[in-house]
């Protein structure tokens, strides 16, 4: 266009300059050559090469064609046959707390009470006398017998320091006697609404386990953490794992940290930040809306909890837990109050993400969205259910009917399958983590990890999708309800296109097309052609966000 105009002017010197500008304008900042580029676009074929300019894909095609876009300033990567995918997007994580978990006392590897005692005792040696000990990610289901531990276990190693340990799902605390005493929690303290103080069946005294709302009774605060440092730590890990985007829990303050990092050129992935629904009135006053922001940092959905978790017996169920016949979970709201809050968010144009795990919790969540759509119309917002662990058979079709995205974490299935059957019974488990059924029924799936509940590595999720086997034990052989296994292509789609759809950005990312954002992950092995166990050892060779290399293996 520009060249024609200048020709018209007929100024030879200008003409020469304009040719030069055009050549530079058409040349690429970055080209990837000789690869196996899998575009996640339904064509199913590999593309050899890609050219990138100004953060976007400008051409895809054979190496010989793309080579023509190389200028002296172009960065050239010879892929030597490596697989390239759209960068992974984790549709559900807690990025800042994940970063924090990389810094503190983590108990993820502790497979017994004794192991936790050892770590706590070692930590106390580093602390001033009487200072509280905070830890996270203990998982009693890994302990022999999978029994809940008690305050006495911690008193043994810590009589003089309060100890507050968070369960891996963030929904329960394990504390010692001193922490209970300093917080004024005794046998006379009633259970708060939506929570439970576990008690010794003999004495009625608190056992040392606090669930859901009861965790907020603890009055001992962790030392000030530096959220920006937590986020930077998390960014380093995410780049190494091939993540080019995340959907994460956030607050307006955290959002500001992401924006500052973006301005400083230090944000190495795209952030879709969800906010707690409790502050909806403030958002309405200050005009905070879903979708605001840019391609790097965007405001996502409002998050509301309908129930708790399976492991804490707080997931809301139609029928009691099979191994705890007196428990059907804990609703976090009265039913009508829940519907009205979802309705208010919908009416005001917000995307809503509902934490829903038990079959009754999911039923309520779908009811709430259906009611909201009936009252105020389908307004283009794509609501989501976070986790969707146990779905009643009658509710499966409602996901597609209501346009509700199933935001799920495949590793929850393969980590939890060992106790799912005990908790739900075999028959109900046919409705647990039913990726294949949901996809077959026309629902859109978006996969993530729930990090730091599960490790952030997308490879573990992909492996879980195609095997439905526990990553450590390999059990059960052939997979748990193997009819729900996905193909690797489906699994990849729900780690790329699915999350992009869930943030209403599938037209700019989540697949590799000309015009899309240049977000790539280059892998050491071809995931599409290897045996499942090799997925776990596949390494990220290079992570590229908006045409910039944010990680390259040495």
Strand 297-305 to 270-276 pairing: parallel
Of 432 and 542, which has the nearer Cβ to Zn ion? 432
Q: Which is nearer to Zn ion, 357 or 417 (CB)?
A: 357
Number of residues that bind Zn ion (CB under 5 A): 1
According to CB under 5 A, which residues from 431 to 460 bind Zn ion?
450
Helix, strand, coil shares of the chain, percent, nearest 5, are 35, 20, 40
| Listed residue (311, 271, 278) closest to 294, CA to CA | 271
The whole-angstrom separation of Cα 24 and Cα 4 is 17
251: helix, strand or coil:
coil
Question: Smallest distance, Å, CB 250 to Zn ion?
Answer: 12
The contact pattern for Zn ion, residues 497-526, with x = CB under 5 A and - = no contact, is ------------------------------
What would the two tokens of residue 397 be?
Answer: 């079709």
**Residue 495, class by beta-carbon neighbours within 10 Å (0-12 exposed, 13-18 middle, 19+ buried)?**
buried
Give 359 or 450: the residue with its C-beta nearer to Zn ion.
450
DSSP string of 450-502, one letter each residue: -TTSS-S-HHHHHHHHHH-S-TTT-PSTT-SSGGG---HHHHHHHHTHHHHHH
Report, in Å, the least distance between residue 448 CB and Zn ion.
8
Least spacing, CB of residue 170 vs Zn ion, in Å: 7
In whole angstroms, the minimum distance from the beta carbon of 75 to Zn ion comes to 37
3-state secondary structure of 249: strand
Closest CB to Zn ion among residues 330, 450: 450
Q: What's the min distance (Å) between Cβ of 98 and Zn ion?
A: 10
Minimum separation from the CB atom of position 89 to Zn ion (A): 16
Smallest distance from Zn ion to CB 92, Å: 6
To Zn ion, the closest distance from the beta carbon of 450 in angstroms equals: 4
When CB distances to Zn ion are compared, the closest residue is 450
75: CB partners within 8 A, 6+ apart: 29, 30, 31, 549
**Encoding tokens for residue 15?**
């003409």
Site for Zn ion in 376-405 (CB under 5 A): none
Closest approach of Zn ion to the CB of residue 277, in Å: 14
Question: Looking at beta carbons only, is 177 or 449 nearer to Zn ion?
Answer: 449
State both tokens at 381.
Answer: 């917002």
Nearer to Zn ion, 32 or 91 (CB): 91
* Contacts with Zn ion, 336-375, as mask; x by CB under 5 A: ----------------------------------------
Q: Which is nearer to Zn ion, 450 or 457 (CB)?
A: 450
Of residues 114 through 133, those in contact with Zn ion by CB under 5 A are none
CB-nearer residue toward Zn ion: 29 or 450: 450
Handedness of CA 507, 510, 514, 517 (dihedral sign): positive
In sequence order, the 6+-apart residues with CB closer than 8 A to the CB of 390 are 310, 315, 317, 357, 358, 359, 362, 424, 428, 431, 432
Distances (CA, A) of 226 to 58, 96, 231, 233, 297: 40, 10, 9, 11, 20
For 43, counting Cβ atoms within 10 Å of its Cβ (0-12 exposed, 13-18 middle, 19+ buried), the class is: exposed
Closest to Zn ion by CB, 151 or 247? 247
Which residues in this chain contact Zn ion in the complex, by CB under 5 A?
A: 450
């Amino acid at each position: 266009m520009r060249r024609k105009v200048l020709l018209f002017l007929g100024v030879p010197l200008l003409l020469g300059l304009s040719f030069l500008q055009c050549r530079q304008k058409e040349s690429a900042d970055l080209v990837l050559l000789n690869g196996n580029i899998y575009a996640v676009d339904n064509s199913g074929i590999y593309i050899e090469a890609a050219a990138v300019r100004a953060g976007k894909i400008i051409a895809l095609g054979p190496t010989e064609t793309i080579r023509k876009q190389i200028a002296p300033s172009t960065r050239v990567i010879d892929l030597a046959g490596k697989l390239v995918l759209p960068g992974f997007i984790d549709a559900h994580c807690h990025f800042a707390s994940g970063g924090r978990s990389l810094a503190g006392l983590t108990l993820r590897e502790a497979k017994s009470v004794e192991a936790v005692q050892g770590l706590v005792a070692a930590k106390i040696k580093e602390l001033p006398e009487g200072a509280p000990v905070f830890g996270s990610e203990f998982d009693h289901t890994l302990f022999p017998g999978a029994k809940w531990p008690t305050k006495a276990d911690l008193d043994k190693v810590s009589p003089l320091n309060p100890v507050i340990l968070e369960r891996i799902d963030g929904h329960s605390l394990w504390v010692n006697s001193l922490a209970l005493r300093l917080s004024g929690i005794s046998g006379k303290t009633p259970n708060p609404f939506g929570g439970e103080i576990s008690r010794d069946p003999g004495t009625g005294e608190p056992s040392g386990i606090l669930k859901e709302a009861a965790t907020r009774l603890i009055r001992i605060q962790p030392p000030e953490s530096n959220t920006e440092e937590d986020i930077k730590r998390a960014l380093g890990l995410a780049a190494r794992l091939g993540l080019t985007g995340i959907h994460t829990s956030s607050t307006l303050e955290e959002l500001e940290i992401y924006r500052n990092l973006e301005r400083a050129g230090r944000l190495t992935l795209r952030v879709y930040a969800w906010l707690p629904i409790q502050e909806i009135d403030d958002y309405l006053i200050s005009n905070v809306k879903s979708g605001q922001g840019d391609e790097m940092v965007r405001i996502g959905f409002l998050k509301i909890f309908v129930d708790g978790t399976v492991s804490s017996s707080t997931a809301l169920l139609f029928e009691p837990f099979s191994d705890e016949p007196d428990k059907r979970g804990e609703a976090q709201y009265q039913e009508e109050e829940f519907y009205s809050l979802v309705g208010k968010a919908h009416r005001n144009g917000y995307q809503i993400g509902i934490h829903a795990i038990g079959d009754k919790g999911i039923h309520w969540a779908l009811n709430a969205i259906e009611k909201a759509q009936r009252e105020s119309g389908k307004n283009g917002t794509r609501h989501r259910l976070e986790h969707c662990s146990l779905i009643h058979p009658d509710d499966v079709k409602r996901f597609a009917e209501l346009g509700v995205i199933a935001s799920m974490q495949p590793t929850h299935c393969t980590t939890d399958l060992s106790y799912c059957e005990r908790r739900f019974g075999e028959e109900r488990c046919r409705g647990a983590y039913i990726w294949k059924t949901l996809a077959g029924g026309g629902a859109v799936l978006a996969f993530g990890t729930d990090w730091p509940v599960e490790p952030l590595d997308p490879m573990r999720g992909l492996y879980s999708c195609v095997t439905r086997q526990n990553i450590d034990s390999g059990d059960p052989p052939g997979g748990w309800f193997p009819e729900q296994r996905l193909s690797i292509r489906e699994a990849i789609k729900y780690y790329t296109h699915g999350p992009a759809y869930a943030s209403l950005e599938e037209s700019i990312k989540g697949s590799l097309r000309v015009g899309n954002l240049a977000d790539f992950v280059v892998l050491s092995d071809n995931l599409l052609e290897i045996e499942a166990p090799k997925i776990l050892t596949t390494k990220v060779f290079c992570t590229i966000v908006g045409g910039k290399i944010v990680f390259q293996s040495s």
